[in-house]
Amino acid sequence: MVKIKGTAKLFKEDQDIELSIFAPFADYLSPEVRSITVDDDGLLIGVSTDSGEDNSPYVAYPPLAICDTLSYCRKIQKSELQELDRLGPFVDLVSYKDEGGTPHKVVFKFNVMDKPLRLQMAWDEINILSLLPPHPNILPFDRIVVEGEESRVLGFTTRYIPGQTLDNPKIPFRFEWLQQLTQVVDFLNLELGIMHQDIAPRNLLIDAETEKILLFDFDRAASGKKNLSNGPDDVTAVAFTLYKLITNHESFSHIPHWDRTIHRVQNISEWPSHRPLDAKVAKFRNFLNEWIETRSDGDMKRYLNAPRRFTWPDRPEASEYSVPFQLGTFTDGKPYMTTGPRSRRTAMKLGSIAFAGNDPHRAGC
């Protein structure tokens, strides 16, 4: 977190301009900067590295020693990663050299938010990806990323695959990609008992070398009943995805996920094509309908009884969270002590070491 200081003339109560003011400076400030001061025109006039101004939350990343399911994974120290680009929030393109000196370009996904849901999603995704068997249409897992003497688990890397996602409406859509998508969904659902729960064009990458699709982003995935949402299943998601890929319509974007039923798109008589296709729309729709038929009879039972379903333990909690700290004072002046989430400043006072999320552009402002 970076604190921005200025006068009331610049920061009016009814405006949220902090991000637009901070953005031009973000790439040029030291990661040690904790606050900046700007003039009434938003121009930088001062910086501070005073730790007393640090309002960043402390994320107690678990030590690898208490992450039994990840102990067999290959690992890489964060200090060995070189940032090449920022692909999105909490997703970087990085490079490193392996034990033999061979360079690798990978995607590093991490979490810097000390929120229960975000922490749980990060824990589940890293376990699912590390346990998934290789598949030609799933983005390959690479390594877990650790930091410090305790090897705190910060995140993971996946192979970097040059290419674009199908969210780009100018990419021609191939019939074979629909076949590959249904095959990988069958594999996940019926073989492994994994429900991806976020199948969409933005999560389908086209491998420029093999010209195959690759499914990624498993942070919302379920295993059996664990994390299974009340929203649409993957079969329904494939139908909505195909409709959007062909028509480029956003007509269903305003409908909550839990209200999306497969018949909403199946029953639309005409799917006007607004994307280059290598086959007629009817061929795509006929294949989709035939596949849906194969998945309709006892589908949930088959999913819950998948022969190769795997499990992983609940997210372990780092020991720091059991160390009490003073959150405030009672009316009689006595200290109010608590445990759990805390600021990085408090964690440092208690002897804990803050590990990731120090960069201003990562933690926000």
Return the percentage of the chain with pLDDT > 70, whole number: 96
What tokens appear for 178 in the block? Answer: 């629909």
pLDDT at 360: 36
pLDDT band at 357 (very low <50, low <70, confident <90, very high): very low
CATH of domain 175-304: 1.10.510.10
pLDDT at 259: 79
Q: Is 212 exposed, middle or buried (0-12, 13-18, 19+ CB in 10 A)?
A: middle
Highest mean pLDDT of the ranges 243-252, 287-296, 319-328, 342-351: 287-296
Question: For residue 347, is pLDDT > 90?
Answer: no
Cβ neighbors of 359 (< 8 A, separation 6 or more) are 31
pLDDT at 342: 85
What is the C-alpha separation between 279 and 283, in angstroms, rounded? 7
Q: Mean pLDDT, to the nearest integer, of 55-69? A: 91
The answer to whether the 64-159 and 175-304 domains have the same CATH topology is no
Q: Helix 281-296 crosses helix 234-247 at what angle (to 10 degrees)?
A: 170
pLDDT at 356: 41
Q: Mind listing the pLDDT tens digit for each residue in 289-343?
A: 999 999 987 899 999 999 999 999 999 988 888 888 888 899 999 999 998 888 8
Give the ranges where 9-97 is alpha helix by DSSP (H).
18-26
What is the C-alpha separation between 358 and 78, in angstroms, rounded? 13
Return the percentage of the chain with pLDDT > 90, whole number: 71
Identify whether the C-beta of residue 38 lies closer than 8 Å to the C-beta of residue 10.
yes
Phi and psi at residue 9, in whole multiples of 5°?
Answer: -65, -35
pLDDT at 353: 56
Task: For the chain, give every domain's residue range.
Answer: 3-55, 64-159, 175-304
More confident residue, 357 or 219: 219
CA-based nearest residue to 190, from 301, 312, 311:
301
Report the DSSP beta bridge partners of residue 214.
Answer: 205
pLDDT band at 69 (very low <50, low <70, confident <90, very high): very high
pLDDT at 139: 97
What is the C-alpha separation between 236 and 53, in angstroms, rounded? 49
What is the C-alpha separation between 308 and 287, in angstroms, rounded? 27
What is the C-alpha separation between 225 and 354, in angstroms, rounded? 35
CATH of domain 64-159: 3.30.200.20
Phi and psi at residue 107, in whole multiples of 5°?
Answer: -105, 125
Question: For residue 203, is pLDDT > 90?
Answer: yes
Q: Mind listing the pLDDT tens digit for each residue in 182-194?
A: 999 999 999 999 9
Q: What is the mean pLDDT of the chain?
A: 91
pLDDT at 350: 84
More confident residue, 98 or 348: 98
What tokens appear for 174 in the block? Answer: 């191939």
The residue whose two tokens read 């909690």 is 317
pLDDT band at 55 (very low <50, low <70, confident <90, very high): confident
What is the C-alpha separation between 280 and 174, in angstroms, rounded? 10
Q: What is the pTM of this model?
A: 0.86
Q: Mind listing the pLDDT tens digit for each residue in 140-163?
A: 999 999 998 889 999 999 999 999
What tokens appear for 159 in the block? Answer: 């192979």
